[in-house]
């Protein structure tokens, strides 16, 4: 196979050797990166061209739009509720849709979930422990 490079025909090996130079220093073979021409160490003799880790990461997209999770518009834990009605009027009993009741009930209002801080959780544990100790004292008497 021949390649045309600067109006002259070259073999594949000659083309690759022109573009990506390799050399040996201290018994370690180096080769230039295809994109940034930085030296890449520990290259096998059969390798024709390499990409350094930085250029490889630039080629790979960070997040794919297809993989992102899309919101359903329902509140967290809706499938555990005894009865849940979404904005479209669909009625669900413990996560299973009941088509006979569609549009008969008003939409369920989302409940605000209160997040507790670590200090509140620890204070509750301490209070529970003290209460248990106090009741244990009275039971011994």
For the stretch 51-60, pLDDT in tens is 899 988 888 8
Q: For residue 6, what is the DSSP state?
A: T
Looking at residue 17, what is its pLDDT? 55
Sign, CA torsion 114/120/125/127: negative
Write the burial class of residue 50 (CB in 10 Å: 0-12 exposed, 13-18 middle, 19+ buried): buried
- The pTM for the full model equals 0.38
How many other CB atoms are there within 10 angstroms of residue 31's CB atom? 20
Q: Which two tokens stand for residue 54?
A: 């930085």
For the stretch 50-86, pLDDT in tens is 889 998 888 887 766 666 777 777 888 888 889 999 8
Q: How confident is the model at residue 5 (pLDDT cuts 50, 70, 90)?
A: very low
Q: Is the pLDDT higher at 87 or at 71?
A: 87
Mean pLDDT of 91-113: 89
């Amino acid at each position: 196979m021949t390649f045309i490079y600067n109006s002259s025909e070259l073999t594949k090996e000659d083309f690759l050797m022109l573009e990506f130079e390799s050399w040996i220093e201290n018994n370690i073979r180096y080769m230039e990166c295809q994109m940034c021409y930085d030296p890449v160490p520990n290259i096998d003799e059969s390798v024709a061209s390499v990409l350094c880790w930085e250029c490889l990461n630039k080629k790979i997209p960070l997040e794919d739009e297809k993989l992102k999770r899309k919101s359903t518009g329902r509140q967290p834990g809706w499938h555990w509720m005894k009865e849940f009605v979404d904005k479209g009027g669909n009625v669900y009993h413990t996560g299973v849709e009941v088509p006979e009741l569609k549009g008969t009930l008003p939409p369920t209002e989302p409940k605000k979930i209160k997040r507790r801080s670590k200090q509140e959780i620890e204070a509750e544990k301490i209070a529970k422990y003290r209460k248990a100790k106090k009741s244990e004292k009275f039971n011994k008497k």
